Amino acid sequence: MQHPEDIPEEEHHEEYSEPKWKKPLIWSMGGFMILLMISFVFVTYPIGPILEGKIESNLIQNNQIDVGEFTIFFEGNSYDKLLDVYNPDLKHEISLCLLGEKKGDDYVISSLYEPKIYEQTFDHVSFQSCNQETIVMLHSHPYKRCVASDTDINTLASTQKVNPDVLMVVMCEPDRFSVYR
């Protein structure tokens, strides 16, 4: 029987080779952890509605919102008046009734007024119906969330029974709007 002292040094150490499955398993686990962290961010922070709003909304340029099929023009200082209502209190949704005329497919805004507000929170506004001369019902949504709710769409459909040409506009940034016909 040989004692360990009698075995030459190079025989003591067998060469260790890492199993071939170990590296792919570690990389897979790392990738899975990254995927979990990314999904956590998307689930806990509402990225989806923000991206959807960016895709479907339009920027105002030169006092015009070009939707493709038609354009909304703000005449005179009507856009400045809109910003005067929007900017001071971003903690609450606002509602405005925009007046003007429809010229062909386009809408020309000449003035606006604030309807009576019944309830106003960060993500909701309840207000008196706009008068029949209103061509655009505008209300704001929380910052960067430009998609109309089901309630918004139902309100538009109900109003269009009386005034088929009326539009609904959701404002979610000082220069970003989603337009619904």
**Is 129 within 8 Å of 115 (Cβ atoms)?**
yes
pTM, 2 dp: 0.76
The topology (CATH level 3) of 57-180 is Cytidine Deaminase; domain 2 (3.40.140)
| Residue 68, number of CB atoms within 10 A of its CB | 7
- Which one, of 1, 51, 28, lies nearest residue 172 by Cα? 51
Q: What is the pLDDT of residue 93?
A: 94
- Which one, of 50, 74, 51, lies nearest residue 61 by Cα? 74
Average pLDDT value for residue range 104-122: 96
Average pLDDT value for residue range 103-128: 95
Kind and range of the H or E run holding 167: strand 167-173
CA gap 119, 87 in Å, rounded: 19
Between 85 and 38, the higher pLDDT residue = 85
Compute φ and ψ for 145, nearest 5 degrees.
-110, 90
Q: Above 70 in pLDDT, residue 35? A: yes
Compute φ and ψ for 24, nearest 5 degrees.
-60, -35
The domain locations on the chain are 57-180
Between 56 and 8, the higher pLDDT residue = 56
DSSP string, 79-136: HHHHHHHHTT-TTS--EEEEEEEEETTEEEEEEEEPPPEEEEETTEEEEPPPPTTEEE
Q: Above 60 in pLDDT, residue 13? A: no
